[in-house]
């Protein structure tokens, strides 16, 4: 074939305008998979190393001291078992925010792969959804690896903990969708460091991962209740320890879904505004 | 769609950014198989127009029909049949040359086998076959441009859009790109390109519009525009800067269709440059250099806007 016959040839089998969005989003998902092929090895090492470090230092090290003082406030389980579901939710948040900031900003600002994609049949919403699909996969991978490490360290008391996996992924998405919606509007990357410093670290420390938030001053508790992370931590823990009740579980899920859905709604608009100038 | 209907039809097309009007009500039509150009200086509104044609920039007002479809409502279907070379490269520099074509082919929903076959042919065509497995990052500007052209052809587009295809390239790299574009044109590919190089426009375009300040100043074939807006020949005179103004005054005595006094040169638009040069010397003027040349699109632009293209 020479380039000319390719060019003047028959129709390209291209989709119609009426084709629904998901096949298009899947094409963008495939792009991210190609991109990930370059970095997956390193990402897997850190996904295994992080839980190993945290669970052994905090869970085993600190935990052995805490367990001596009685575990009643922890619901009668060892500190390690108490900690693991909380860290699972935090892992999802950490992974999600990492994927939702620099990769999104870089795609529109540095490498301009988003602009490249928007010159094809893909629409801005497809480009957004495609990345959400990819991040969902990354969340599931990292949370799965977290659970494997936790199980190996004896931090898992029952197979019920598997129910916590989708909840952790949903917790991650409650961060990912709104942050992506915002990240794509940025013209500099200066605010991302602020998110990590003043957003993630306080959330990490005060969302009931390391201690029940009943230990917080009363005035601070509503702040924790408002953050998606606390809902994720509370539900992951309840599922892992077998203490979940239908009412509270539903409330947590609805809250997380609502935050994620609001982010998706916003992102469909901000992606369009950024890519269609 | 009957074959003689225009592939692109714009009527009263406007693009505003806030209160600033970048494209100020332009009309044009593109026919199948032609190479159509937008010639204009920086800021003329060329890229804004190309982005509207590329269906990634909704027009503020006016009508824009591409391949018989509405540019806003049917954007995805139109883009499926366009090839786009944007002004700024959007290659994924972390992937290899071949991976860039694969990723792009998949965006168009092409099966793997089709992409493989086309990628091989296209890399040959843009003379990058030997770099197929290399990362894009270290490639030269000209190679990246050629890869972008190959990428834009992966979906066998009906129309190829090229926004300043050779800006920023050194002369040798430009000629390689021109050669490839010329071959595409010979193969009957419909091209739309923007440029601020008059030689690029003259060589590649069957028909072009001269754009300035968001408006179309004139349109026609390169020859036609030169015939209409300039004289067959131009006499370029350069004087010692100290004598420049006095010489310009004296030259009003020499008959010419038009004269342009630029900062460093004086241009006389005449039917016969050598005859005019003799008249200049007869006046006792002694230019440092003199050049008789044929009119170009640069002269057309100067006539239409009072400015030079490069300014
Ligand atoms: N996104 C934008 N926001 C504001 N102004 C813009 C934007 N894009 C282009 N412009 C302005 O519109 C004018 C035309 O720009 P452009 O179409 O890029 O011209 P050209 O491609 O002919 O150099 C310029 O003055 C430019 O500054
Ligand atoms: Mg431009």
CA–CA separation, B79 and B66 (whole Å):
10
A268 close to A258: Cβ distance less than 8 angstroms: no
**Chain B contact for A116 (CB, 8 A cutoff):** yes
Nearest CB among A9, A35, A38 relative to B156 is that of A9
Distance CA A84, CA B202 (A): 70
Give A68's pLDDT tier (boundaries 50, 70, 90): confident
For residue B91, report the distance from its CA to the centre of ligand 1, in Å.
Answer: 22
Tell me if chain A has a CB within 8 Å of the CB of B283.
Answer: no
- The DSSP annotation for A133-171 comes to HHHHHHHHHHHHHHHHHHHHTT---SGGGGGHHHHHHHH
Burial of A273 (0-12, 13-18, 19+ CB in 10 A): exposed
Which domains are delineated in chain B? 8-226 (3.40.50.300), 231-294 (3.30.70.790)
Q: How high is the pLDDT of residue A71?
A: 80
Q: Measured between CB atoms, which of A12, A112, A276 is closest to B156? A: A12
- Which pLDDT does position B79 carry in this prediction? 97
Spans in chain B with pLDDT lower than 50:
1
Closest-CA residue, ligand 1 atom 1, reads: A277
Cα separation, A219 vs A230, whole angstroms: 16
pLDDT given at position B307? 86
- Chain A residue at shortest CA distance from B71: A17
Q: How far is Cα A81 from Cα A60, in angstroms, rounded to an integer?
A: 10
Enumerate the β-bridge partners of residue B207: B36
How far is the C-alpha of B272 from the C-alpha of B235, rounded, in Å?
9
Mean pLDDT of all residues belonging to chain A: 90
Predicted confidence (pLDDT) per residue in A182-228, tens digit = 999 999 999 999 988 889 999 999 999 999 988 888 998 888 899 99
Q: Are strands B20-30 and B289-294 parallel, antiparallel or unpaired?
A: unpaired
pLDDT tens figures, A119-135: 999 999 999 999 999 99
pLDDT tens readout for residues A76-115 = 899 999 999 999 999 999 999 999 999 999 999 999 999 9
Query: HSE (CB half, 13 Å, CA atoms) of B193?
Result: 29
What are the tens digits of pLDDT across the range B182-224?
999 999 899 999 999 999 999 999 999 999 999 999 999 999 9
CA distance A23 to chain B (A): 9
Of B88, B92, B109, which has the smallest distance from its Cβ to A27's Cβ? Answer: B109
pLDDT at A16 over 80: no
Say whether B95 and A31 touch across the interface (CB within 8 A).
Answer: no
Residue B81 CB contacts under 8 Å (≥ 6 apart), including other chains: A11, A12, A14, B67, B155, B157, B158, B159
* Domain ranges (residues) in chain A: 21-275
Q: Cβ(B77)–Cβ(A121) under 8 Å?
A: yes
- The label of the residue with tokens 């290399």 reads B134
Q: SS3 for B67? A: coil
| Dist. CA B177–CA B166, nearest whole Å | 7
Mutational test site, ligand 1, from B45, B161, B214, B310, max ligand atoms within 8 Å of CB? B45
Cα B84 → chain centroid: 14
The residue to which tokens 């030259």 are assigned: B251
User: Which helix or strand (DSSP H or E) is residue A45 part of?
Assistant: helix A40-54
β strands within chain B, DSSP E: 8-17, 20-30, 35-39, 61-66, 69-70, 82-85, 159-163, 190-195, 207-212, 215-220, 233-238, 258-261, 266-270, 289-294
Contact B63, B89 (CB under 8 A): no
State the DSSP H helix or E strand holding residue A31, giving kind and residue range, or none if neither. Answer: helix A21-36
Contact between chains at B184 and A3 (C-beta distance less than 8 A): yes
Residue A20 banded pLDDT, cuts 50, 70, 90: low
d(CA A216, CA B156): 63
pLDDT above 50: residue A11: no
What is residue B217's predicted lDDT score, i.e. its pLDDT? 96
Residues 6 or more apart in contact with residue A184 via CB below 8 angstroms: A104, A105, A108, A114, A128, A267, A270, A271, A274
Reported ipTM exceeds the 0.95 cut: no
d(CA A156, CA A159): 8
What pLDDT was estimated at residue B3?
A: 64
pLDDT tier at A2, thresholds 50, 70, 90 = very low
Size of interface A-B (CB pairs under 8 A): 133
DSSP secondary structure, A53-118, as one string = HHIIIIIIIIHHHHHHT-SGGGTSS-HHHHHHHHHHHHHHHHHHHHHHSHHHHHHHHTS-HHHHHH
Atom in ligand 1 nearest the alpha carbon of residue B196: 22
- The pLDDT assigned to B68 comes to 95
In terms of C-beta density within 10 A (0-12 exposed, 13-18 middle, 19 or more buried), how is residue B95 classed? Answer: buried
pLDDT at A1: 38
A142-175 pLDDT, tens digit per residue, is 999 999 999 999 999 888 899 999 999 999 999 9
């Amino acid at each position: 074939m020479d380039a000319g016959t390719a060019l003047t040839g028959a129709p390209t089998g291209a989709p119609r305008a009426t084709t629904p969005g998901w096949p298009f989003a899947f094409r963008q998902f495939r792009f991210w998979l190609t991109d990930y092929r370059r970095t997956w090895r390193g990402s897997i090492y850190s996904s295994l190393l992080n839980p190993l470090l945290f669970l052994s230092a905090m869970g085993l090290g600190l935990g052995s001291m805490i367990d001596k003082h009685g575990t009643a406030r922890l619901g009668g389980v060892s500190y390690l078992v108490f900690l693991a579901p909380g860290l699972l939710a935090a892992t999802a948040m950490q992974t999600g925010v990492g994927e939702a900031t620099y990769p999104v900003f870089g795609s529109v600002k540095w490498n301009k792969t988003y602009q490249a994609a928007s010159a094809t049949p893909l629409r801005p919403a497809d480009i957004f959804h495609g990345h959400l699909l990819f991040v969902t996969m990354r969340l599931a991978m990292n949370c799965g690896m977290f659970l494997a490490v936790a199980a190996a360290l004896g931090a898992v008391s029952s197979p019920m903990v598997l129910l916590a996996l989708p909840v952790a992924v949903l917790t991650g998405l409650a961060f990912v969708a709104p942050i992506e919606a915002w990240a794509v509007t940025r013209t500099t990357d200066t605010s991302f460091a602020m998110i990590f410093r003043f957003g993630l670290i306080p959330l990490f420390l005060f969302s009931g991962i390391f201690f029940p938030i009943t230990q917080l001053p009363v005035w601070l508790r509503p702040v924790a209740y408002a953050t998606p992370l606390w809902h994720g931590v509370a539900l992951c823990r309840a599922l892992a320890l077998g203490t979940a009740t239908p009412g509270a579980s539903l409330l947590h899920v609805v809250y997380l879904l609502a935050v994620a859905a609001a982010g998706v709604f916003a992102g469909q608009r901000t992606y369009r505004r950024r890519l269609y100038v | 769609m009957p074959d003689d209907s225009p592939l692109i039809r714009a009527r009263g097309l406007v693009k505003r950014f806030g209160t600033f009007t970048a494209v100020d009500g332009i009309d044009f039509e593109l026919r199948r198989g032609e190479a159509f150009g937008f010639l204009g200086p920086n800021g003329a509104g060329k890229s804004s127009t190309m982005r509207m044609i590329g269906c990634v920039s909704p027009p503020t007002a006016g009508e824009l029909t591409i391949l018989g479809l509405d540019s806003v409502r049917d954007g995805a279907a139109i883009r499926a049949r366009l090839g786009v070379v944007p002004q700024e490269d959007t290659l994924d520099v972390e992937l290899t040359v071949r991976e860039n074509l694969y990723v792009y082919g998949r965006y168009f929903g092409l099966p793997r086998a089709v992409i493989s076959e086309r990628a091989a042919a296209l890399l040959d065509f843009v003379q990058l076959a030997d770099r197929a497995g290399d990362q894009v990052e270290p490639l030269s500007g000209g190679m990246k441009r050629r890869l972008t052209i190959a990428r834009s052809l992966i979906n066998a587009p009906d129309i190829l859009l090229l926004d300043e295809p050779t800006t920023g390239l050194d002369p040798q790299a430009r000629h390689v790109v021109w050669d490839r574009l010329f071959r595409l044109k010979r193969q009957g590919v419909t091209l739309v390109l923007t440029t601020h190089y008059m030689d690029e426009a003259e060589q590649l375009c069957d028909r072009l519009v001269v754009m300035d300040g968001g408006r179309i100043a004139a349109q026609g074939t390169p020859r036609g525009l030169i015939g209409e807006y300039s004289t067959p020949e131009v006499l370029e005179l350069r004087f010692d800067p100290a004598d420049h103004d006095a010489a310009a005054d004296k030259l009003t005595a020499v008959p010419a269709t038009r004269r342009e006094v630029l900062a460093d040169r004086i241009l006389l638009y005449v039917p016969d440059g050598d005859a005019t040069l003799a008249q200049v010397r007869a006046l006792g003027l002694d230019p440092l250099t003199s050049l008789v040349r044929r009119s170009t699109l640069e002269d057309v632009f100067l006539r239409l806007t009072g400015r030079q293209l490069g300014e």
